[in-house]
Amino acid sequence: MKQISVKSYKPRGFIGRYQHLIKDEVIPYQYEVLSDNIPDAEKSHVIQNFINAGKALGGEAAGDGFYGMVFQDSDAAKWLEAVAYSLAVFPDKALEEKADRLIDIIAAAQDADGYLNTYYTIKDRNKRWTNILEGHELYCSGHMIEAAVAYYEATGKDKLLSVMEKNAGHIYDVFIKGGHKGYPGHPEIELALLRLYDVTGKEKYLELAKHFIDIRGVDPHYYEKERQSRDWTVWNGDGRNHEYQQSAAPVREQRDAVGHSVRAVYLYTAMADLAAKTQDGSLKKACENLFESITKRRMYITGGIGSTVHGEAFTTDYDLPGDTVYAETCASIGLMFFMAKMLSVSAKGEYADIMEKAFYNTVLAGMSLSGKNFFYVNPLEVVPGISGKAVTHRHALPQRPGWYTCACCPPNAARLISSFGKYAYSEKGDTAYCNMFAAGEVSFENGIHLRCETEYPYGFTVKYSVIKGGKIAVHIPSWSEEYKLTFSGRGTKAVINDGYAYMQVGDGEEITLTLDGGVKTVYPSSKIPALSGCAAIMRGPLVYCFEGVDNEGDVLSLRMIADSEKTALREEILGGTVTVTLQGIREKTADGLYSLKKPVREKVRIKAIPYYMWGNRGENQMRVWLPEA
């Protein structure tokens, strides 16, 4: 039986504040960017591309033509999806009307046969479906399908859903009826088609998603043959890097997470969802192998994935440098997608652990506290003058820009944060699952209704008031070495299984979970060469980092006395947070590039802040891992 998202979630607390930020600041700001109304932001042209495509289809001159990346349409789709999730929580007539107007513009850009892509409609309609490797037609369709499903579920309006059903029907005709041999260069549509199947119940969408998953890698040389058949490219890709394209073998034979990290986890998300829907044991086993590869050998402490700027990709086991890391925000968002679907395959706490790690660290770090600046890359070490400057570190910016030419991450973060309830809570049969701790009220399709009170991730008491009872499963995070569960109901007991506490509770009962809020020292595997002799600190799900602004402007000279007493203190910096101070050592070296003189050491108190908050107080040094004294 599949695991489904909840009926409704009304947020409060930490998540509520973030979702208000998305509604009040991020969504309006991003719309203005998409409309090219922010002077100091990178030009987007997304909305104008759709307007121009509609003109081209109507026989008019296409205005100022197409501008942007081949996947530019997807920014509008992700913005609409974020709007949908926001409207589900915070009804807003003016915002809904703005979204409806954009949907009208998108609908007018759809060709008569259902095709929808502004790049090809404006630039060259004869090139449609001839460059599956680089063209992103299926990717853009996938994101727009996701937006259509979300908007229909939030508002009941089906205009965009009808547009995308027509588009999916066209894709079905091309790839199933027409026999096109291609499979997505950038996986996305697979997971979107499965969402479309969920909301419509139409088997052809399940069939099409399964086709794209099953055919992938069966002919590893497909992209090479495609390249030889045409005389144009987008990025001069030749299709020969099979691992980079996740096409070196059929998906059921893939064991290691390889290639472009975002594409990988989007593909794995669809594989896990299909495995859950069809009870495909071989697909389930492949997903478990890929989970092990990512989380046991190729993932950063922050839940970041993708070690290198070269192809935004995974590299090899234990290659996890902190200063040249890529760790794209979208990749950690995709990792959350994957973990949510793995929970639908098997309700195991380890999947919720990784989902939580990715969210509270890399995903939140991808956006400034103001909601108007964004990281594409999430380094674990920054040194101004090197980071963002040296050719090897140019991608690792020390400050968040307002927007990007390739702006996949900002609207992706907006849609993820707005839909947090879908990941925090889920249900499977008669059981309501609490996967992550989110204050507020949640209603499940199976009738269970809960109210959660918590100051998480800074407070570690989580209280559930049961408005309508039933069978509940509460995740016990693996980072909490000790925990306590108490119940108001007489005779209520919990059975612990695979990281979840299962209990039957009645109306009016209360459940209180108390977790370990101590500061922990984390040591890396000795197999990670970049981290020899280093340590990091965590409190709850939050990874901490050291910024120069809190440490005399210099963290490079610091060492951590890891067994020293660590003090967690709530402070009014960065809008209010909990800092951690501990004993450290500062090394003062002699002048010159190198010296025969031993550094002078002095004991100092050093301070750390949650990693997701770094980079909000100007340009300065930052490190997650410090050498241990």
User: SS3 string of 498-562?
Assistant: CCEEEEEECCCCEEEEEECCCEEEECCCCCCHHHCCEEEEEECCEEEEEEHHHCCCCCCCEEECC
φ/ψ bin of 368: left (φ > 0), alpha (ψ from -120 to 50), beta (otherwise): beta
CA distance 101 to 549: 45
DSSP state of 598: P
φ/ψ bin of 201: left (φ > 0), alpha (ψ from -120 to 50), beta (otherwise): left
Q: Which helix (H) or strand (E) holds 463?
A: strand 461-468
Place of tokens 């209990």: 503
- C-alpha closest to that of 460 among 424, 501, 514: 514
Could you please report the per-residue DSSP string of 184-241?
-SS--HHHHHHHHHHHH--HHHHHHHHHHHHHTTTSTTHHHHHHHT-S--SS---S--
**From 190, 312, 381, 509, the catalytic residue:** 312
CA distance 36 to 38: 6
**Beta-ladder partners of 622:** 382, 547
- C-alpha closest to that of 182 among 140, 145, 229, 147: 229
Contacts of 501 (CB under 8 A, 6+ apart): 473, 474, 476, 485, 494, 495, 513
Q: What tokens does 361 get?
A: 């660290």
DSSP state of 117: -
Q: Are 176 and 210 in contact (CB under 8 A)?
A: no
**Beta-ladder partners of 414:** none
Sheet containing strand 500-505, strands side by side: 4-5, 425-428, 431-434, 470-475, 500-505, 495-497
**From 140, 287, 330, 408, the catalytic residue:** 408
- C-alpha closest to that of 27 among 119, 98, 114: 98
CA distance 608 to 613: 10
Q: For the chain, how far is it from start to end, CA to CA, in angstroms? A: 52
408 catalytically annotated:
yes
HSE-up of residue 73 (Cα within 13 Å, Cβ side): 32
- C-alpha closest to that of 255 among 214, 264, 239, 192: 264
Contacts of 59 (CB under 8 A, 6+ apart): none
Q: List Cα–Cα distances, 7 to 190, 447, 449, 527, in angstroms.
A: 24, 9, 10, 44
Residues carrying an active site annotation: 312, 408
